[in-house]
Copies of this chain bind each other. A is one copy, B any other.
Amino acid sequence: MYSFTNDYSEGAHSRILNALLETNLEQTSGYSTDYHTEKAIELLKKKMDCEDVDIHLLVGGTQVNLTAISAFLRPHQAVIGTDTSHVNCHETGAIEATGHKVLTMKTDDGKLTPSLIQKVLDGHTDEHMVQPKLVYISNSTELGTIYIKSELEELHNCCIKNNLLLYLDGARLGTALVCEENDLTLADIAKLVDAFYIGGTKNGALFGEALVICNNELKEDFRYFIKQKGGLLAKGRLLGVQFEELFKDDLYFDIARHANKMAILLKNALKEKGYEFLTDSSTNQQFPILPNDIIKKLSEKYSFNIERVIDNSNTAIRLVTSWATNEANVLEFIEDLNSI
C-alpha cells in the first residue's frame, strides 16, 4: 500500500535529520533564544530580502494560526475566509475557542477576492455584529490553487482600503512558490501581507512553521502569546536547526519542486485519460474526479482521501505528493490507472 494521503506521512528529509544529529549535544539556551534559531531567522530574512520583519518558529500550523490571529485581533473582531479555509473547518474551532468568529464565503476554487470580502463588509455595519478585521487566505489553498501576484496585490489594496489585516497561511507555501503559474516571491509576500507563515511540516521538516510578522503594529510582545498558547518549544533549537538547513541554500524550494513534479505526473496521466478535476491545481494536491469503480480499484494498492461526492457514480479524490514521494510509485500508480 502506497500512500498519497498527505504530505506528512514520512519523517524528515535526510539533511534535516543529519543537522539534528550533528548539533544534538550542543548546549543551548531554551525557548528559541539559541544560536540556531537566530541563524535560521537571519537566513529567512535574507531569502525574503527584508530585515524589518519579526520571525518566530513554532511547531504546527493550527498553533500558529490560533496564536497569531488571537494576538492580532481585539475581542470583537472577526476573521474573513472561504468556507473551505483550514481555520474554518479543520481546526476544531480553534479560532472561535480564542473568542473570534470566522465569517466565510463560498467559493469553487478556495480563493478569496476583494468582491467576496466586500460582501462580508457590507453585511457587518454596526456594533450588534462582529467587526470583520483579518482576511485569512492560504497559499497554496486547501484546494491546491494559488494566488498570483496581481491577485495578492488586489487583496492587499482591498485590505488597506478597508483597514483590514491580511494573513497568509503558508502551510504549503513551498509548493505554491515553485509551481508553474507562480510569479510571487517571498519578498513580494512580505511586502503585501501583514503576517504569513512558511510551512516546514509539509515540506521536509519533522515539524515547524516560520511565522513572519511584517506589520510593525502586530509585533509587540508576541513571545508572550506563543508561551501562553503552549507553543514555546523548550528545545526551540530543534526548530532553528531545521529552518537553518532548509534555507541555508535552496533545499526548501528544491524539495517543493520535487513534490510538484510528482503531482504534475499524476495530473497529466489523469488528464490524458479524460478525467476532470475539482480545481485546476499545479501544486502538490490534485483533485481528480473519478468513477467510483476506478477509485475502488485504485484503493486496493494506494491510500488517499475522498474529497467530495460529485454524483452517484463519480467522486473527487485528493492525491497528495511531497518531498518524499518516490517517482517509481507515481509511475506505478499511472500504470495501474492505465491498465484498469
Contacts and interface: CB of A to CB of B under 8 A. Distances in A.
Nearest to A326: B25
A97 B229 contact: yes
Interface string A98-142: 111110000000000000000000000001111100000000000
Interface size class of A (residues with CB under 8 A): 35 or more
A201 B99 contact: no
A21 B17 contact: yes
A225 B17 CA distance: 30
Nearest to A220: B74
A243 interface: no
A209 B273 CA distance: 49
Number of copies of this chain that the complex holds: 4
Nearest to A3: B27
B10 A25 contact: yes
B130 A93 contact: yes
B227 A92 contact: yes
A150 interface: no
A59 B233 contact: yes
Contacts of A207: 233-235, 238
Query: Would you call the interface of chain A mostly helix, strand, loop, or mixed?
Result: loop
Interface in A277-322: none
A101 B96 contact: yes
B29 A10 contact: no
B6 A30 contact: yes
A228 interface: yes
Interface in A212-255: 221, 223-235, 237-238
A28 interface: yes
A48 interface: no
Interface of A: 2-3, 5-6, 8-12, 14, 17, 20-21, 23-31, 59-67, 70-71, 74-76, 78, 89-94, 96-102, 127-131, 201-202, 206-207, 221, 223-235, 237-238, 324
